[in-house]
Amino acid sequence: MLEAINLTRLHIGPVNLCLADGEVVAITGPSGSGKSVLLRAIADLDPNEGQLKTQSGMRADTPAPDWRRKVAYLPAESGWWADSVGEHFKAPNQVDLASLAIAPEAMGWDVARLSSGERQRLAFLRLLELNPDVLLLDEPTAPLDAENTARFEARLKRCISAGVSVVLVTHDPVQAARIADRHFVLADGQLAEAAHV
C-alpha cells in the first residue's frame, strides 16, 4: 500500500495518490512532464513536500534508508559502483537469474561488458533482494526486446500477486493496459486519472 498526500516537488503537484496492496498504477505523460521527478520524490531522493505513507508507517517517521528499502525505485538508467556484477548483490548465489534469462555466470562478469538490457534486468533483480512493499518503475522495459519484456512482466506479476504495489511510468499505452489497474496522466505538473486503462 502507498498513499501520497499533497506531494510537491518543483513544478509537480500537489499529487494525491493511493494504491492498495497488489495494485498497479500506470503513469504516462509527455517527455519532460516530470514523471521521473515524481518517482524520485516518492523515493525521497530529492527534497520535496507532502506526506507519504505505507503499511510500515509514515515516511516522516522512517529513516530514509529504511524508506527506500520499502519503497524501491528502479531508475530508467541504473547505477553501478563496483567492477563486477556480483558485488552489487547481497546474496549473489541466491538470485533467480533464470527468471529473466540471464546467464548463470553473470555474477562474475564485469559491469562494463553488460548490455543496456542486461543492466536493466540485473538492476531489477538487485532491487527485488530488498523485498520491497512498493515498486517505483521508470520505463523499466524500454531497453528490452519483446521476449525479455514478457519475462520482465511475468516476474513483476509474481511480485504483484505477493501484494507489492507498483507505480509504473511507461511510454507504452499497450503495456499500461496490459499490467495496470488504473491509469494516470501527468501533464502541467498535475496528475489526472484517465477514464479507462
Partner 1 sequence: MSEYVELSYIDIALASVFLLLNGALSLWLRLGIARNLAFAMVRMVVQLLLVGLLLKSLFAIQSPWLTLLVALIMVGFAAREIWARQERRLKGWRGLAIGGTSMGASVGVVALVALIVLVQPEPWWHPRFALPLLGMIMGNAMTGVSLSLDTLHTALNREQRAIEAQLLLGADKWQAMRPFIRQAMRAGFMPSINAMAAIGVVSLPGMMTGQILSGVDPNEAVKYQLMVMFLIAGATGLAVILATLGSARALSDDRDRLRVDRLRKVKT
- Where on the chain is the footprint of partner 1 (CB under 8 A)? 43-47, 63-66, 68-69, 72-73, 75, 77-81, 88, 123, 126-127, 129-130
Alpha-carbon 107 to chain mean position: 22
Query: In terms of CB distance, is 123 or 166 closer to partner 1?
Result: 123
Query: In terms of CB distance, is 32 or 63 closer to partner 1?
Result: 63
Q: What minimum distance in Å lies between the beta carbon of 183 and partner 1?
A: 25
Which residue blocks in the chain are alpha helix, DSSP H? 35-42, 64-70, 116-128, 146-161, 173-179
Strands (DSSP E) contained in the chain are 2-9, 12-19, 24-28, 49-54, 57-58, 71-74, 134-138, 165-169, 182-187, 190-193
Query: In terms of CB distance, is 53 or 69 closer to partner 1?
Result: 69
Question: What grid cell was written down for 136?
Answer: 517505483
Q: What minimum distance in Å lies between the beta carbon of 150 and partner 1?
A: 26
Q: What minimum distance in Å lies between the beta carbon of 166 and partner 1?
A: 16
